[in-house]
Amino acid sequence: MPGQAPPTVTGYALLGLLSLRGEMSGYGLKKLADRTLRFFWVAPAMSHVYSELTRLSRAGLVTESLTQRGGRRLRRYSLSAAGDLELRRWLGEGEVDFPILKHEVALRLFLGHVTGPDRPRHLLARYRGQLRARSEELEAIRRSLEDDPRFRYAAMVAEWGIRYYLEEQQAVAHISNQLDPDRGPT
């Protein structure tokens, strides 16, 4: 069977979540992704999780177990031996892209010459609030990860994120100062 396309990065990320938690439903996987992957990769849409899981299953990297509970069919996925191997292979292998940032706030600051300083100033203020909210969210998650050695690496990534959000708040404060009306540009 030639032309089996390798999984996408998101596919591997899902394999990784399964390796962390064991058997899960697509729905559960989505919720877990929202608590983890979302902060440094993507928050995949529900439908995307399902289609990705279908592909992984066809490739033999996850196994499905279909159960009936009441009137509801429940499909649980877990990492197959082949999936575990393939995940390890991918993790050990070469090319890792430099991170990509899609930062609309920065884009709008960049275009400040069109709007004048008021608009970026306002957006920066809002962004700061969002950063605070995100910080708290992520800190709650990090606390929930504490003291379980299995989640040690997850906790490190969470701390990295918290640190980033903090620094970002300071950067925003600094820029807002520069945009201050007193010392302000046109």
> Under the rule (CB under 7 A), what is the footprint of DNA?
5, 8-11, 25-28, 31, 42-48, 50-52, 54, 69-76
User: How near is the Cβ of 19 to DNA at its closest, in Å?
Assistant: 18
CB proximity list for 29: less than 8 A, separation 6 or greater: 14, 17, 18, 49, 53, 77
What tokens appear for 5 in the block?
């396309």
Q: Among 23-31, 55-63, 66-74, 103-111, which window interacts with a copy of itself (CB under 8 A)?
A: 103-111
> What are the φ and ψ backbone dihedral angles of 61, each rounded to 5 degrees?
-90, -20
User: How near is the Cβ of 44 to a copy of itself at its closest, in Å?
Assistant: 12
**Residue that has been written with the tokens 């970002």 in this structure:** 168
161 and 110 Cβ atoms separated by less than 8 Å? no
**Binding flag, residue 92, a copy of itself (CB under 8 A):** yes
d(CA 71, CA 179): 60
Which of a copy of itself, DNA, none lies near 56, with the C-beta cut-off 5 to 8 A by kind? none
**Can you spell out the DSSP letters for 125-153?**
HHHHHHHHHHHHHHHHHHHHHTT-GGGHH
Q: Among 24-32, 47-55, 69-77, 105-113, which window interacts with a copy of itself (CB under 8 A)?
A: 105-113
Q: Hey, CA dihedral for 13, 17, 22, 26, is it positive or negative?
A: negative
Residues between 23 and 52 that touch a copy of itself (CB under 8 A): 36-37, 39-42
List the one residue from 32, 33, 105, 138 that touches a copy of itself (CB under 8 A). 105
What tokens appear for 180 in the block?
């201050």
**Binding flag, residue 85, a copy of itself (CB under 8 A):** no
User: How near is the Cβ of 132 to a copy of itself at its closest, in Å?
Assistant: 12
For a copy of itself, the closer CB: 68 or 186: 186
What tokens appear for 108 in the block?
């709008």
Q: Among 27-35, 49-57, 138-146, 167-175, which window interacts with a copy of itself (CB under 8 A)?
A: 167-175
